[in-house]
Structure 1
């Protein structure tokens, strides 16, 4: 199995953020999700992505 690096985790978090921003509005519109819940879930994933974007976690690199 390949080692999972901080840079790979950062990229995955960014992909997840894009997916949530695309899917959650439909979930809200169909009443399967509340806006407050969507906002919270996006904020949590954004915080995770931000953590991995810090220089120390990416070995001095800040790009994905």
Structure 2
């Protein structure tokens, strides 16, 4: 899997759309929408993966890389 990520990055810069969708700001927006809809704990995680540097999780056992949490 790491080999595929390296090849994808070697092909050139990421598209502006991917940069927007993978931004911390977008992760905060998505987390806010999930939190507003479900009123449950939502975490924003830093993955260290250049193709998906941030992700949103509703899994309470997921603690690695948490940079922000929304709780009711």
* Normalised-by-shorter TM-score class: 0.3 to 0.5
TM-score (norm 1): 0.35
More helix per residue: 1 or 2?
1
